[in-house]
A = this chain, B = another copy of it.
Amino acid sequence: GYATLDIHREKRKGFPEIIFGEGKNKEHLLGIFERLMKFHKKVLATRINKEKADYLIINLQDRYPLECFHYHHDARVFYWVSKDYVETKKQGYIAVVSAGTSDFAVAEEAAVTAEFFGCEVKRVYDVGVAGIHRLLDRVSVIEQAHVVIVVAGMEGALASVVGGLVSKPVIAVPTSVGYGANFQGISALLTMLNSCASGVAVVNIDNGFGAGYYAATILSV
């Protein structure tokens, strides 16, 4: 068939397989989602637009309780949590810091993903370096986090500045916000890879999911 599920991933990696919604047709998506529901207590699908989310709901709601499904529109995240699932809370929290309002969707994807994996998240949004005092005003909530996710588009300078301020690992997420020589996020990506501040690692452009997942991984060390 079109899919070979990785049922043992939860055992191996601590977390079950996540569905990448982009580029899959609706029938494949539904098939995979429901099969994963058989093996796990939680199933997550990312990059799910409204149309796909509706399709999933409509086709699953007669067999499963509706309140177990969740769709975050901005974050384009769809997930299901079994009624009998019990979360084991992790120590510490993750700060999700974003540069501008336009980075909202990616920041939310990171935050919602981390929460899905049982982490506490504190949001510090729209504190980009064009007005650095906004960041300095809220530096203590960032410093006290166990992990910091920085989401920034345009030139992505915020990652370096935060990297220079905190002792905890910083996960930098470049976004495709911008235009012209931004090249759909390349500018912020290169900024983050070349950060003069140490302690910054990078995930793919607009990969809020990856950052949320990675942060959860660190909290589980």
Binding site for B on A (CB under 8 A): 1-4, 6, 8-9, 12-15, 17-18, 20, 22-24, 28, 32, 47, 92, 99-102, 104, 125-134, 146-147, 153-157, 160-161, 163-169, 171, 174, 176-207, 209-210, 213-214, 217-221
Contact = CB atoms under 8 A, between A and B. Distances in A.
A154 B164 CA distance: 14
A196 to B, nearest CB: 5
Contact of A182 (B92, B100, B165, B190): B190
11 contacts: A9-B130, A13-B166, A23-B153, A129-B160, A132-B165, A155-B160, A155-B190, A157-B191, A168-B217, A179-B206, A188-B194
B180 A205 contact: yes
A199 to B, nearest CB: 5
B187 A190 contact: yes
A20 B100 contact: yes
Nearest to A183: B190
Contact of A161 (B2, B9, B99, B161): B161
A182 B176 CA distance: 13
Given A4-B126, A129-B196, A132-B161, A167 B12 contact: yes
A130 B217 contact: no
Contacts of A4: 125-127, 134
A193 B221 contact: no
Nearest to A23: B102
A194 B167 contact: no
B181 A193 contact: yes
A181 B205 CA distance: 6
A39 to B, nearest CB: 13
Nearest to A182: B194
A101 B190 contact: no
Contacts of A3: 101, 125-126
Contacts of A18: 198
A37 to B, nearest CB: 16
